[in-house]
A and B are shown apart, each in its own frame.
Chain A
Amino acid sequence: QSQLQESGPGLVKPSETLSLTCTVSGGSMSNSAYYWGWIRQAPGKGLEWIGSIYYSGNTYYNPSLKSRVTVSVDTSKNQFSLKLRSVTAADTADYYCARHLLPPSNWFDPWGQGTRVTVSS
Chain B
Amino acid sequence: QSALTQPPSASGSPGQSVTISCTGTSSDVGGYDFVSWYQQNPGKAPKIMIYEVNKRPSGVPDRFSGSKSGNTASLTVSGLQAEDEADYYCSSYAGSNWVFGGGTKLTVL
Q: Are B103 and A47 in contact (CB under 8 A)?
A: yes
Contact of B48 among A60, A61, A108, A114 (CB under 8 A): A108
Q: From residue B64, how far is it (CB to closest CB) to chain A in Å?
A: 15
Proximity bits, A15-46, B CB within 8 Å = 1, else 0: 00000000000000000000001010000011
Give complex CA distance A47, B47 in Å: 12
The 8 A CB mask of B51-63 against A (1 = contact, 0 = none) is 1100001000000
Q: Is the CB of A47 within 8 A of B46?
A: yes
User: Which residue of chain B has the shortest Cβ distance to A64 in the bound complex?
Assistant: B1
Which residue of chain B lies nearest to A112 when distances are taken between CB atoms in the complex?
A: B45
A60 and B97 form a contact (CB under 8 A): yes
> Which residue of chain A lies nearest to B98 when distances are taken between CB atoms in the complex?
A49
A residues within 8 A CB of B92? 106
A48 contacts partner chain B, Cβ-Cβ < 8 Å? yes
B46 pairs with A49, CB closer than 8 A? no
| Size range of the chain B interface in the assembly | 20 to 34
Q: Are the C-beta atoms of A107 and B89 separated by less than 8 Å?
A: no
Q: B99, A49: Cβ atoms under 8 Å?
A: yes
CB distance from A83 to the nearest CB of B (A): 18
**With A106-B51, A109-B48, A114-B45: A47-B100 Cβ-Cβ less than 8 Å:** yes
Tell me the number of A-to-B contacts counted with CB atoms below 8 Å.
71
Cβ of A111: which chain B residues have Cβ within 8 Å of it?
45-47
Interface size class of chain A, counting residues whose CB lies under 8 Å from the partner chain: 20 to 34
B34 vs chain A, min Cβ distance (A): 5
A103 cross-chain contacts in B, Cβ below 8 A: 93, 96
B12 at the interface (CB under 8 A from A): no
Contact between chains at A106 and B36 (CB < 8 Å): yes
B101 CB–A CB distance under 8 Å: yes
- Whole-angstrom CA separation of A51 from B98 in the bound complex: 9
Contacts A46-B102, A47-B91, A63-B1; is A107 near B97 (CB within 8 Å)? no
Residues of B within 8 A of A (CB): 1, 3, 32, 34-36, 38, 45-48, 51-52, 57, 89, 91-93, 96-103
